[in-house]
Amino acid sequence: MTWILEIYRSAMAKKAVMAVTGVVLFGFVLGHMVGNLKVFLGPVESDIYKIDLYAEGLRTFGAPFLGHGEFLWITRFGLLAAVGLHILSAWQLTVLNNKARPTSYRKQTSQASTYASRTMRYGGVIILLFVIYHLLHLTTGHVHTDFEHGKVYRNLVIAFQNPLVAAFYMLAVTSLGFHLYHGLWSFFQSLGLSGPRLDVFRRQFAAVFAVIVTAGFLSVPVAILTGLVN
């Protein structure tokens, strides 16, 4: 039994949990970004938009085996568990790192790695706060000025016509971009894929993915602010 406890306490196990939950969350973020692009597909008929049908499709997905909204709830519980474990293992790894590093070595820590881990921590907090606001804004409508359930296109256009709201979203998705970049980079490191040549490859791979996701998310508030989507 003690070996199970040892594995649980090891940094490797915590890194594995970070990596697996990170991949799950990355998959969600990528899928969500692609789904949001449906805002550019316009209306199906006078007051119904492709993105509204897509959102309804997420609620009827799995029928007749699943009831209305059940697929969405299963996904929500899965995501919540992934977010919880991701934060928990990040916190545990920080505690382990601080314990392992004697104070006298503190000044010798690489500037680049402390910068990256600080960015990850602050970025993670910004993303968490953003997601809480975002759920109250575009899912429940509590902090939206004129919210209508099921009218995703309309809710988005009204929301992002306010430059302050659009700017906040842009800031949040940009910090998500940095988080994804560092996250993907260290994911490959955890898999043991590092070395002079591999480092160049994983840096480029992480940058390309982070830029694609960030640009995709940014395109929606930018298109609405500039009147391209209205």
Contacts to ligand HEM by CB under 6 A = 29, 32, 36, 55, 58, 72, 76, 127, 131, 134-135, 138-139, 152, 156, 169, 173, 176, 217, 220-221
User: Which residue's CB is nearer to ligand HEM, number 85 or number 198?
Assistant: 85
Q: Shortest Cβ contact with ligand HEM: which residue?
A: 55
The span from the CA of 108 to the CA of 104, in Å, is 8
Q: Helical H runs in the chain?
A: 2-9, 11-36, 50-60, 70-100, 111-134, 152-160, 163-190, 196-225
Q: How far is the CB of 172 from ligand HEM (least distance, A)?
A: 6
Give long-range contacts, CB 8 A cutoff, 24+ apart: 48-51: 49/152, 49/153, 49/154, 51/152, 51/153, 51/156
Assigned token pair, 193:
């894929």
Assigned token pair, 38:
């449906």
User: Which residue's CB is nearer to ligand HEM, number 109 or number 140?
Assistant: 140
Q: Cα 170–54–76 angle (5° rounding)?
A: 70
Whole-Å CA distances, 60 to 32, 47, 57, 136, 201: 17, 20, 5, 22, 41
Residue among 174, 162, 184 nearest 219 (CA): 174
User: Which residue's CB is nearer to ligand HEM, number 128 or number 208?
Assistant: 128
Q: How far is the CB of 88 from ligand HEM (least distance, A)?
A: 18
Q: How far is the CB of 193 from ligand HEM (least distance, A)?
A: 25
User: Which residue's CB is nearer to ligand HEM, number 89 or number 214?
Assistant: 214
Contacts with 211 (C-beta within 8 Å, 6 or more apart), sequence order: 177
Q: How far is the CB of 132 from ligand HEM (least distance, A)?
A: 10
Task: Answer yes or no: are the C-beta atoms of 51 and 43 closer than 8 Å.
Answer: no
Q: How far is the CB of 15 from ligand HEM (least distance, A)?
A: 21
User: Which residue's CB is nearer to ligand HEM, number 175 or number 186?
Assistant: 175
Q: How far is the CB of 37 from ligand HEM (least distance, A)?
A: 10
User: Which residue's CB is nearer to ligand HEM, number 36 or number 92?
Assistant: 36
